Amino acid sequence: MSLRIGSARTFFAPFGSYFPIFVFSYFFFECHLHKLSWLVCFFLINWHYLGIILLKCYGFDADFWQKPRNPLRTQMDYYTSVIFILLLALLVLSILISENSRISLRKKRLFIGANLLIALSAMAECVGVHLNGNPDFPKWLLAAVKALDYTLTPMTGGVFIALMEKPKDKNHLLACLLLGNAAMQAVSAPFGWMVIIDDDHCYSHGPLYPLYIVFYCLTILLLAVQMASYGKSFRRQNRMSLYATIGLVLTGIAIQEVLGNGRRVAYLALTLGAAFLYIHYCEFSQLKLDDELTEQQKKLAIDPLTGSLSRFAYMDALTALENHVPENLAVFLVDVNGLKAVNDAIGHDAGDELICGTARCVENTLGRDGQTFRIGGDEFVVLTDMTQTQAEAALAALKRETKSWSGENVSDLSVSAGYALAQTHPGQSVEALVNEADQAMYAQKQDYYLHFGRDRRRYRDGK
């Protein structure tokens, strides 16, 4: 039999959409998924030429495109066009994934791997449909293509499951299912146990096909279970779109497998599912990262020792008041007297006790209606709204509060405090008010040491 190159390329080229697959392999290589991707790439680019050589060696006439024997052959132009657009869609999706710097390398590999498996499975199905009912090609070629189709299809679901697993998770049941199915397809293909090909070169399901359906359904069940588990990591209101995505994929598979009659929409549903899952992962994973960032910022805003606001929160508060200082703003600075002597005499635990006691006293008096920040070791700042009369009354209340305070290691507490009011310093910035309050506080501290000369605090151990 003569082989006409043009007619053979007519067969291999329509669904030989090798350019998208070439780019898939390129992105695989860029993500360091596997060095063999270039070998796969070479095969996929040149598969129509390899097919021509193979057919010529066997002496088959490849001029079958103009001799449609399959009743579905009249729909092949439309079906092949759908497969071609599907491959291009997977290509675009893979480009988007490769360009996303927020996705980890592992996730990129899995997403692009899923796209490649969908593409290869769709092409295998397309080739099988074209070979079905065409006696110009050997039966074993149709059997091999169907075996490849039945091997790759469950693997696509396996990659989706891997996408939703944590990096350290190992799904041994899934691995056993996929490897068992691949072995079953390889063994069954030569003997017609999975696919029976009649004299008209039309295939039908063999005696082991129900076992394949069991493997397929178990993979789908694992996918549904993993999807439900994966959805729990998102907010409740964000799970519906995830479950709708798996519903779309399962509906497409059900239409093809149950209704049949040329309704080949499974890979279209898988392609849409891959795109929607990627969108969901990007959108809601970013929301999750934003929540984690907000939680970290909250932790940074709280001083871990005293529970007061931290210096980080203090800098944010100053920034917020940078362009507008309220008329009634009052700034207080408070510093513990004799902290170093306590640390040297009985240890830092006692010093921490003084700092925490100061924080409580300040929050209960000066900071009752404002914000209390610990900005240094024993230094506190309070931002609040007060008049001068209220500020003096608050300082008197702080003095009473510290005198009545008593700790486990230290029996009394002494602090120096100063304040500045926006009313008495019109037009000054909040930083200028802080400096004024700082000077007033240090004037009181100097007065404290001038009168007492040394720390006369009483300690619980009698020192």
Enter the DSSP assignment of 193.
S
In a domain, 458, yes or no: no
Q: Are 313 and 427 in contact (CB under 8 A)?
A: no
Q: Are 179 and 281 part of one and the same domain?
A: yes
For position 33, what pLDDT does the model report? 44
For position 109, what pLDDT does the model report? 85
Q: Are 324 and 271 part of one and the same domain?
A: no
Question: CA angle 11-154-209, nearest 5°?
Answer: 80
In a domain, 77, yes or no: yes
Q: How far apart are CA 370 and CA 372, in angstroms?
A: 7
Tell me: pLDDT of 396 over 80.
yes
Q: Are 288 and 319 part of one and the same domain?
A: no
In a domain, 149, yes or no: yes
Q: How far apart are CA 341 and CA 455, in angstroms?
A: 7
What are the tens digits of pLDDT across the range 348-392? 888 899 999 999 999 999 988 899 999 988 899 999 999 999 999
Range among 112-126, 257-271, 415-429 rated most confident = 415-429
Tell me: pLDDT of 176 over 50.
yes
Tell me: pLDDT of 273 over 70.
yes
**Mean pLDDT, rounded, for 418-431:** 92
Residue that the structure tokens 């902290």 belong to: 339
* pLDDT level of residue 53 (50, 70, 90 thresholds): very low
In a domain, 377, yes or no: yes
For position 100, what pLDDT does the model report? 86
Q: Provide the residue range defining the domain that includes 344.
A: 311-452
Here the CATH number for the domain that contains residue 50 is 1.20.1070
In a domain, 459, yes or no: no
Tell me: pLDDT of 313 over 80.
yes
For position 416, what pLDDT does the model report? 93
Neighbours of 436 (CB within 10 A): 19
For position 11, what pLDDT does the model report? 44
Here the CATH number for the domain that contains residue 323 is 3.30.70.270
Global pTM reads 0.57
Q: Are 159 and 203 part of one and the same domain?
A: yes
Q: Are 141 and 227 part of one and the same domain?
A: yes
Token digits of residue 437: 């309050």
* Final residue before a domain boundary, out of 235, 270, 295: 295
Q: Are 282 and 327 part of one and the same domain?
A: no
Tell me: pLDDT of 256 over 90.
no
* pLDDT level of residue 35 (50, 70, 90 thresholds): very low
Q: Are 355 and 271 part of one and the same domain?
A: no
Residue that the structure tokens 């129900």 belong to: 210
* pLDDT level of residue 270 (50, 70, 90 thresholds): confident
Q: Are 30 and 80 part of one and the same domain?
A: yes
Q: How far apart are CA 122 and CA 71, in angstroms?
A: 20
Q: Are 204 and 349 part of one and the same domain?
A: no
In a domain, 305, yes or no: no
The residue with greater pLDDT, 72 or 122, is 122
What are the tens digits of pLDDT across the range 184-233? 989 888 888 888 888 888 888 889 888 988 888 888 888 888 877 777 76
* Final residue before a domain boundary, out of 269, 295, 321: 295
* pLDDT level of residue 167 (50, 70, 90 thresholds): low
Q: Are 115 and 249 part of one and the same domain?
A: yes
Tell me: pLDDT of 59 over 50.
no
Q: Of 2, 3, 21, 23, which is closest to residue 11 (Cα–Cα)?
A: 3
Q: Report the domain count for the chain.
A: 2
Q: Are 285 and 343 part of one and the same domain?
A: no
Give the contacts of 259 (CB within 8 A, at least 6 positions apart).
Answer: none
Percent of the chain with pLDDT strictly greater than 90: 21
What are the tens digits of pLDDT across the range 110-161? 888 888 888 988 888 888 888 888 888 888 888 888 898 888 888 888 877 8
Q: Are 73 and 219 part of one and the same domain?
A: yes
For position 51, what pLDDT does the model report? 52
In a domain, 463, yes or no: no
* Final residue before a domain boundary, out of 265, 295, 325: 295
In a domain, 13, yes or no: yes
